[in-house]
Amino acid sequence: MTDKRPTLTLKPKAKPARTAASQGGGKPRPAAAPAQAEASKPAQATAPKPSYRPSAERAAARSAPPAPRDTARLRPSHEVKVAPQRDYRPDLKADSLALSLLGAANAVARVRGGSALPQALSAVFGAYEVTPQARGAIQDIAYRTMRQLGRCETLLGLMTSKAPEPPMLDGLLCAALALLDPPQGGQPPYEAFTVVDQAVTAAASHPDFAHAKAMVNAVLRRFLRERETLVEQALKQPLARWNYPQWWIDSTRSAYPQDWEAILTAGNAHPPLTLRVNRRRLDVAAYLEMLRAAGFDATQVGPSAVRLAQAVNVSQIPGFHEGLVSVQDAGAQLAAPLLDLADGMRVLDACAAPGGKSGHILETAEVELTSVDADPARLARVRDNLGRLGLAATLLAAEAQEGGWWDGRAFDRILADVPCTASGIVRRHPDIRWLRRKSDTLQLATLSSKILDNLWQMLLPNGKLLFVTCSLWPQESEAQAAAFAARHDALRLDAPGQLLPASGAGQDHDGLFYALFQKKAA
């Protein structure tokens, strides 16, 4: 018997519009080649519970708001809600845009379920057994969609009567809209008719929403017909204009009344690929010459920092596998020099994963380094990164706010890169804005204060502790630093303080915060 599922309806315009069936169109061309992969994203910590409720935000664009998607709804007794088949392997060509769109939609749905985007993508790659080319295209589309999710959801709210279900269908429509509606000044990576054709093909290939392929076609074709009007209407909503939850917009405006718009805009930009040159092995000028000889355009943006003009996969970076360079933001490269390291020191890198700062510490001086992280899986990444560099440290899987792992030997230097909302690195991790809740700021600040207090007792008199956070919120940065100094009568030394996301000649960094403290001698 044919499975007839209910489908959502298209929301009509004020005046009747032509139906999708009346629209002409030439024969679809073959799918374009997948977009280039977004290179070398740093790993994220375990994802927090999601705060983003797309249908709640959409309500502002509808005259009759639907029930929130995360609110239980009564269903007819004969209707059985089947669990989504996220691991279903579609019968699509490995190099097709349809497969890339479906993979990105799968990743977006997983993020909405609470997974961090890197973990979501890893699950998709494993389920689909995709080629390297397809991996790059899926990743590129997923990151594009995360950066434009608020705008895409608002546009869908203007064109549909309720939130598309299951979540993968919603993710597919958002991924297609992200390709059809690039940020201002951006060029569409694919022809519009190719995106529509391949999105319909993707929908038809999945048993959970094959019945909705006509709706996918109608929604996307309507967007192309009415783009100017729909975008103008959508941009009246802050969610669509800025692509952040309202609480995030409000928090940024409150903290930085003069710079909030520039900060939000910077967080939506595609991040650069910045490298740290291992100056134990060669100097920056020599490495720039190596890049030029290999056909790469690059610029020095810090003492050890080199920014590539075009992001590439790490496997293509000259000297990467040999340990000559590491991928690390220019702002994060300030940590090791601020520690004022010297050979023979005993140093602690707390909350060390994925190991970029540990590697920089060992490149800077011959020290006895202990790297601690609460997540054993992420600690393995520290081991891998140090192994690639030919360096070694004592690695401990432990909670930095606890003391049972400490052997009682005090440290000369401590790097405390504490947990935070990561609001300063959102351009690299666009899923963070949709996963975080406003209450996370206070909870993480409380945890960070416990970590700092615990680590302080492990520091030698006259030793230095560097407090680092990748947050823009004062509760996690400056207010935290001031409260810590007051609690422990710590001497505060010169440090950059709050760095706002910046790009340009001589600088290019994420939004990090630095505060340096020295323990007074007894």
Per the model's pLDDT, the better-predicted residue between 50 and 228 turns out to be 228
Q: Is 77 helix (H, G, I), strand (E, B) or coil?
A: coil
The whole-number pLDDT of residue 507 equals: 60
Which part of the chain has CATH 3.40.50.150? 333-518
Binding residue per annotation — 87? no
For residues 348-365, give the mean pLDDT: 96
Q: Looking at this protein, which amino acid is placed at residue 315?
A: S
Q: Is 371 helix (H, G, I), strand (E, B) or coil?
A: strand
In tens, the pLDDT along 186-240 reads 788 999 999 999 999 999 999 999 999 999 999 999 999 999 999 999 999 999 9
Q: Looking at this protein, which amino acid is placed at residue 408?
A: G
Exposure string for 82-102, b = 16+ CB within 10 A, e = fewer: eebebebebebeebbbbbbbb
Q: Is 165 helix (H, G, I), strand (E, B) or coil?
A: coil
The whole-number pLDDT of residue 89 equals: 83
Pairing of strands 273-277, 491-498: unpaired
The whole-number pLDDT of residue 410 equals: 97
Using a pLDDT cut of 90, give the percent of the chain over it.
73
In tens, the pLDDT along 302-317 reads 999 999 999 898 989 9
In the numeric block, the tokens 């708001």 are attached to 65
Identify the weakest region by mean pLDDT among 82-96, 184-198, 292-306. 82-96
The whole-number pLDDT of residue 514 equals: 98
The whole-number pLDDT of residue 506 equals: 52
Binding residue per annotation — 103? no
Binding residue per annotation — 416? no
In the numeric block, the tokens 């997983």 are attached to 110
Superfamily the domain 272-328 falls into: Sun protein; domain 3 (3.30.70.1170)
Structure tokens at 198: 């391949």
The whole-number pLDDT of residue 448 equals: 96
Residue 417: closest CA among 302, 522, 328: 328
DSSP annotation of 304 reads: S
- How does residue 521 score in pLDDT terms, banded at 50, 70 and 90? confident
Binding residue per annotation — 357? yes
The whole-number pLDDT of residue 83 equals: 65
Structure tokens at 320: 């990467």
In tens, the pLDDT along 405-463 reads 999 999 999 999 999 999 999 999 999 999 999 999 999 999 999 999 999 999 999 99
Binding residue per annotation — 174? no
Most confidently predicted of 12-21, 51-60, 386-395: 386-395
User: Is 262's pLDDT higher than 70?
Assistant: yes
The whole-number pLDDT of residue 9 equals: 52
User: Is 7's pLDDT higher than 90?
Assistant: no
How far apart are the two ends of the chain, measured CA to CA in Å?
A: 83
Distance CA 464, CA 490 (A): 10
Domain covering 333-518 assigned CATH 3.40.120.10 in the classification? no
Binding residue per annotation — 356? yes
Q: In degrees rounded to 5, what are phi and psi of residue 468?
A: -130, 140
**Backbone CA torsion sign across 445, 450, 454, 460:** positive
Q: How far is CA 431 from CA 112, 149, 242, 448, 515, in A?
A: 9, 9, 14, 22, 27
The whole-number pLDDT of residue 184 equals: 75
Which part of the chain has CATH 1.10.940.10? 20-57+88-242
The whole-number pLDDT of residue 12 equals: 54
Q: What is the rounded average pLDDT for all residues in the chain?
A: 86
The whole-number pLDDT of residue 26 equals: 38
Task: Please answer whether residues 432 and 422 qualify as being in contact, where contact means their C-beta atoms are separated by less than 8 angstroms.
Answer: yes
Which part of the chain has CATH 3.30.70.1170? 272-328
∠ CA 390-393-399, rounded to 5°: 140
User: Is 22's pLDDT higher than 80?
Assistant: no
Q: Is the preceding peptide bond at 34 cis, omega within 30 degrees of 0?
A: no
- How does residue 258 score in pLDDT terms, banded at 50, 70 and 90? very high
For residues 354-362, give the mean pLDDT: 96
Binding residue per annotation — 373? yes
State the CB neighbour count (10 A cutoff) for residue 344: 10
pTM of the model: 0.82
- How does residue 165 score in pLDDT terms, banded at 50, 70 and 90? confident
- How does residue 151 score in pLDDT terms, banded at 50, 70 and 90? very high
For residues 73-84, give the mean pLDDT: 48
- How does residue 77 score in pLDDT terms, banded at 50, 70 and 90? very low
Domain 20-57+88-242 -> CATH class: mainly alpha
Residues involved in catalysis = 470
- How does residue 183 score in pLDDT terms, banded at 50, 70 and 90? confident
Helix (H) or strand (E) holding 515: strand 513-518
The whole-number pLDDT of residue 161 equals: 84
The whole-number pLDDT of residue 56 equals: 42
